[in-house]
């Protein structure tokens, strides 16, 4: 029992009143109220006023009077506000027990939006020529959190990671290894992916301006990459897979896992492009330009003031969008699957990670298609993604079958950039892999771990090294994940490691420390509370506010899943922590003089802890019991 059930009952009863009074049918909203306006509110009077030619307040009064017969277990009072809203007051004496007991169930907060329909989430998809930087981390965290939310909402989720192993950036590092003297076995402690990104890629791209012949070499390499039997393609596969292994280690440390790796080189060689191109011609989605600058090119017409988008150049070669279109169609099951599958590895959570292959395989054919696809790509790709979205809607006749979930970039504060070795002259650090202006994600995680480890040792000198290391890991990963999602996706993030580690304000450590505070109370109590009791003793405002917030967990899950908004859950976790800390400051939980009251308050503490941990799991954060 949660506030969702309360809202559904109120909505049902209001519909009965509309039917009884022969009021016009309107699509009204019942939702949680703002503070001091009851617990649930409804806008029905405003909508009916247009039809009934009456003031909203007069209609609200009439409906409130009619609602009196429904008062009872869940709703104790209803009143018409002068503004016209109808406000409902929950019967917390009844709801306390229901909410607190239900919150202890493993499936608490589950909702059934998806009804087990299959949905694909593609995220990460970092070019395999470098290590992940802090900007890539936002993609990983958004994609992983959305996947967790959709599973909580009863979707059958498959997570894909697209590996662009045949593009320009891969060709650049192959130029470096083949023509610029870089060794493919560096004698260094740094990861291979970091070596490729920091040295091979950056220094090779710098050489193009001094040696134009290298660009010709790159063009030749790009052509060779399309032939899987060429020596260049085989060498590139070895290099990119070594880089990919390092990238995945970082993703796994961040708490993200995947179902399948898809390789661009295989998509090119599979023949999927030719099939989808023919479909596009049949549906007249592409046009052969007869004249002008795009003469003899196949194009998609631009909308409004946008230029036409070339799909196939006049020389017959496809542009980079021609790789993304067949992949999108494959994810939606529009095209027959040309791939076989191999097991790549077993991930840290025990889940098998598959990879596509065009070679023969003894493994069972897998199915990684969905009725809907969500692609997490930064906002700079919006034009391309808009085209793909439009094309997929034509193929499936469903407007929302393909969704681009965009987000803005991540910058580093001047202080954090300086700590990590970048001199930005007091300005925020904008990332650029080509210029070498980026901060390795592993470096940021290491810095956060060390800072947390030092602080935790001071506060908990009795803890052993293994416990300290685990706490440092949980706080560091929690910190970086929380900072990546606590703002709207369309806002640029400025990451500052000092502020993000604060135990005050809207940070992961503040929320995690609140969990540790709850754990300390339960530890001091020395016994597990008995939930088989009456909860009518929980009546003061701090207790009731906390219970109400616990009871709204599934409403926030529904909101976050509907809108693909990780921020909704991060804010819920923060507000839950704030409510608990107010309760902690104002309410004496452990009262030796009143064991009955102590027990029910310990039930509330336990319920809070259980709910917070479930909510934190959705954003990929673990809360240690000590900090």
Find the mean pLDDT for residues 394-410. Answer: 92
Condensed to tens digits (0 to 9), the pLDDT of residues 96-123 reads 999 999 999 999 999 999 999 999 999 9
Res 205 pLDDT > 60 = yes
Contact 215, 171 (CB under 8 A): no
- Kindly write down the DSSP assignment for every residue of 381-436, as one continuous string: GHHHHHHHHHHHHHHHS-TTSEEEE----EEE-HHHHHHTT---TTSPBPPBTTTT
Rg, C-alpha atoms of the chain: 28
Q: How confident is the model at residue 481 (pLDDT cuts 50, 70, 90)?
A: very high
For residues 451-458, give the mean pLDDT: 92
pLDDT of amino acid 419: 77
* pLDDT at site 523: 96
User: What fold is seen in the domain 3-90?
Assistant: Gyrase A; domain 2 (3.30.1360)
Helix and strand counts by DSSP (H, E) for the chain: 23, 16
d(CA 419, CA 535): 51
Tell me the average pLDDT across 475-492: 96
DSSP string, 493-532: EEE-HHHHT-SSSSSHHHHHHHHHHHHHHHHHH-SPPP-S
pLDDT at residue 306 in the model: 83
* Gap between the Cα atoms of 74 and 300, Å rounded: 57
597 Ramachandran zone, left/alpha/beta (phi>0; psi -120 to 50): alpha
Q: DSSP class of residue 440?
A: B
The CATH code of the domain at 471-618 is 1.10.730.10
Q: Is the pLDDT of residue 226 over 70?
A: yes
- How much is the average pLDDT of 144-173? 96
Order across the sheet with 298-300: list the strands: 287-288, 298-300, 309-312
Q: What is the pLDDT of residues 31-59, one digit of tens each?
A: 999 888 999 999 999 999 989 999 999 99
**DSSP states of 564-593:** T-HHHHHHHHHHHHHHHHHHHHH-----TT
H-helix or E-strand spanning residue 191: none
d(CA 187, CA 192) in angstroms, rounded, equals 10
Question: Residues with Cβ < 8 Å from 402, sequence gap 6 or more?
Answer: 328, 332, 372, 373, 375, 388, 389, 392, 393, 396
- Asked if residues 93 and 77 have their Cβ atoms less than 8 Å apart, the reply is no
591-613 as b/e: b if 16+ CB within 10 A:
eeeeeebbbbbbbbbbbbbbbbe
The model's confidence at residue 1, banded by pLDDT at 50, 70 and 90, is: low
Q: Alpha carbon of 585 to those of 66, 232, 543, 581: distances in Å?
A: 42, 66, 11, 6
The pTM for the full model equals: 0.93
Range scoring the smallest mean pLDDT among 122-126, 131-135, 410-414: 410-414
């Amino acid at each position: 029992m949660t506030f969702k059930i309360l809202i559904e009952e109120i909505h049902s009863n209001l519909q009965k009143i509309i039917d009884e009074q022969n009021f016009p049918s309107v699509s009204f909203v019942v939702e949680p109220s703002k503070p001091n306006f009851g617990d649930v509110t409804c806008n029905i009077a405003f909508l009916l006023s247009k039809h009934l030619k009456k003031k909203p307040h007069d209609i609200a009064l009439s409906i409130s009077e009619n609602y009196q017969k429904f008062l009872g277990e869940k709703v104790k009072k209803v009143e018409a506000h002068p503004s016209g809203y109808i406000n409902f007051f929950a019967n917390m004496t009844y709801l306390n027990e229901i909410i607190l007991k239900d919150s202890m169930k493993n499936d608490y907060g589950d909702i059934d939006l998806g009804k087990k329909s299959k949905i694909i989430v593609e995220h990460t998809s970092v070019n395999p020529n470098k290590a992940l930087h802090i900007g890539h981390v936002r993609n990983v965290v958004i994609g992983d959190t959305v996947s967790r939310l959709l599973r909580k909402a009863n979707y059958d989720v498959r997570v894909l990671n697209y590996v662009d192993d045949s593009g320009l950036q891969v060709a650049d590092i192959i130029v470096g290894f083949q023509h610029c003297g870089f060794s493919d076995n560096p004698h260094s402690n740094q990861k291979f992916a970091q070596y490729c990104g920091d040295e091979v890629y950056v220094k090779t791209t710098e050489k193009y301006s001094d040696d134009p012949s290298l660009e010709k070499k790159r063009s030749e390499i790009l052509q060779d990459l399309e032939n899987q039997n060429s020596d260049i393609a085989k060498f590139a596969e070895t290099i990119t897979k070594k880089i990919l292994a390092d990238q995945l280690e970082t993703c796994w440390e961040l708490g993200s896992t995947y179902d399948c790796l898809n390789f661009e080189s295989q998509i090119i060689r599979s023949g999927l492009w030719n099939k989808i191109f023919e479909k596009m011609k049949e549906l007249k989605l592409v046009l052969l330009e007869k004249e002008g600058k795009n003469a003899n090119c196949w194009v998609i017409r631009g909308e409004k003031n946008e230029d036409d988008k070339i799909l196939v150049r006049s020389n017959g070669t496809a542009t980079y969008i021609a790789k993304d279109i067949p992949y999108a169609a494959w994810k939606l099951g529009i095209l027959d699957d040309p791939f076989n599958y191999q097991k790549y590895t077993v991930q840290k959570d025990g889940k098998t990670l598959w990879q596509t292959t065009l070679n023969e395989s003894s493994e069972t054919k897998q199915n990684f298609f969905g009725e809907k696809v969500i692609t997490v790509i930064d906002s700079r790709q919006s034009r391309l993604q808009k085209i793909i979205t439009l094309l997929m809607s034509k193929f499936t006749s469903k407007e929302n079958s393909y969704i681009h979930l965009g987000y803005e970039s991540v910058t580093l504060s001047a202080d954090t950039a300086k700590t990590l070795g970048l001199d930005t002259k007091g300005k925020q650090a904008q990332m650029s892999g080509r210029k070498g202006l980026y901060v390795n994600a592993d470096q940021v995680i290491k810095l956060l771990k060390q800072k947390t480890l030092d602080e935790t040792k001071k506060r908990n000198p009795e803890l052993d090294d293994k416990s300290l290391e685990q706490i440092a890991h949980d706080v560091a990963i929690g910190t970086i994940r929380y900072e990546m999602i606590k703002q709207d996706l369309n806002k640029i993030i400025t990451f500052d490691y000092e502020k993000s580690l604060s135990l005050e304000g809207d940070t992961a450590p503040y929320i995690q420390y609140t969990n540790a505070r709850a754990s300390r109370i339960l530890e001091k109590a020395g016994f597990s509370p008995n939930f088989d009791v009456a909860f009518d003793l929980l009546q003061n405002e701090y207790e009731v506010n906390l219970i109400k917030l616990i009871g709204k967990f599934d409403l926030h899950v529904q909101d976050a899943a509907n809108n693909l908004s990780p921020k909704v859950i991060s804010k819920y976790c923060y507000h839950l922590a704030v409510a608990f800390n107010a309760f902690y400051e104002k309410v004496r939980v452990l009262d030796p003089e009143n064991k009955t009251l102590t027990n029910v308050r310990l039930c509330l503490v336990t319920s809070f802890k259980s709910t917070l941990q479930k909510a934190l799991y959705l954003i990929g954060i673990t809360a240690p019991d000590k900090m």
